[in-house]
Amino acid sequence: MKLCRNFNSIFGMALVALVMMVPLAGCREEPGEGPVVVEKTSADEALINKQPIQQFFDYRLVESNAGVRQWVLVSDLMNKYEGQRDVLLVTVHLDFYKNGAHFSTLTSDSGSANLRTNNIFTWGNVVVVTDDGRQLETEELYFDNEKQLIHNDVFDRFTRDGDVIEGIGLEATPDLEYIEIKQQVEADVLDGTNDSENSEGDTR
C-alpha cells in the first residue's frame, strides 16, 4: 500500500511537470519570422543573432593625413552586416599618433567603426593609456575622427601621477592633455587639495 501511494505521488508530479511544459513549448519563436536587427549590441551578441555578410580576422584600419599616420586600429575580428552602416569589432586596439609619433593607446572588449567617417565607438573595459603614464578607465567611449575628440556620458576614472579624478560624462583629446569631466566630479589628489576642480564641478 505504501508503494502504491509513492507511485501515485510520483505520477502526479510528472503529470504536473508535463502540463507546465506545454505552455512553454507553445511560446517558442519559430525561425524565419522576420529579420533580426542588430543595433547597439556587442559583437558577440551580433554573431548569435545574425550572420555577417563579410568577416575579416586580424582586421587593420589606418587613418593618415598627407601621408602622416594619425591612428591605427587593430581588431581580432571585423564583422559587416547587411543593412548596417557600421562594422562590428571583436576587441579593439587603437594607437594614436601626433606628427607620426605614438602618444596613446585605447583598448576595449568590443567596438564599431563607421568606414565612411572613421568614427569609432568602443565599449567594455575601455582603457586609454598615454606614453607618459596617464590613464582613463570607463565602460564606453566614442571617438570623433573629424574633431579628434573622445567623449561619453557614463562614469569615468582618470589617473595622473597618483591623483585620481572620477565623474560622469567626459570630453577629452586622445592624448589626455585636455580632459573635462562634466558631472559629479570627485578628486583624490596627493597633496590633499582639489585645485583641478572648478566652481562648476568640471575638471580640466
Closest C-alpha to 203, from 167, 155, 153: 167
Is the model more confident about 66 or about 192? Answer: 66
At residue 39 the predicted structure's pLDDT band, cuts being 50, 70 and 90, is very low
Cβ–Cβ under 8 Å, residues 135 and 129: yes
Q: Is 81 exposed, middle or buried (0-12, 13-18, 19+ CB in 10 A)?
A: buried
Q: Point out the least confidently predicted range of 33-42, 83-92, 171-180, 189-198.
A: 33-42
Name the helix (H) or strand (E) containing 83: none
* Domains of the chain: residue spans and CATH: 41-188 (2.60.450.10)
In this predicted structure, the answer to whether residue 15 has a pLDDT above a threshold of 50 is no
At residue 191 the predicted structure's pLDDT band, cuts being 50, 70 and 90, is low
Q: Which amino acid is at 151?
A: H
**C-alpha separations of 85 from 64, 71, 78, 88 in Å:** 22, 21, 13, 10
The average confidence (pLDDT) of the chain is: 80
Q: Which amino acid is at 2?
A: K
Amino acid 199: pLDDT? 37
User: Per residue in 121-168, pLDDT tens?
Assistant: 999 999 999 999 999 999 999 999 999 999 999 999 999 999 999 999
Amino acid 6: pLDDT? 45
Q: Which three cell numbers stand for residue 157?
A: 576614472
Amino acid 4: pLDDT? 45
Distance in angstroms (rounded) separating the CA atoms of residues 155 and 157? 7
Helices (H), the chain: 2-26, 43-49
Distance in angstroms (rounded) separating the CA atoms of residues 79 and 22? 38
Q: Is the pTM of this model over 0.85?
A: no
At residue 45 the predicted structure's pLDDT band, cuts being 50, 70 and 90, is low
DSSP string, 90-128: EEEEEEEEETTEEEEEEEEEEEEEETTT--EEEEEEEEE
| Percent of the chain clearing pLDDT 90 (strictly above) | 62
For the sheet with 86-98, list strands across it. 54-65, 68-80, 86-98, 101-114, 120-130, 135-144, 149-160, 163-172, 179-188
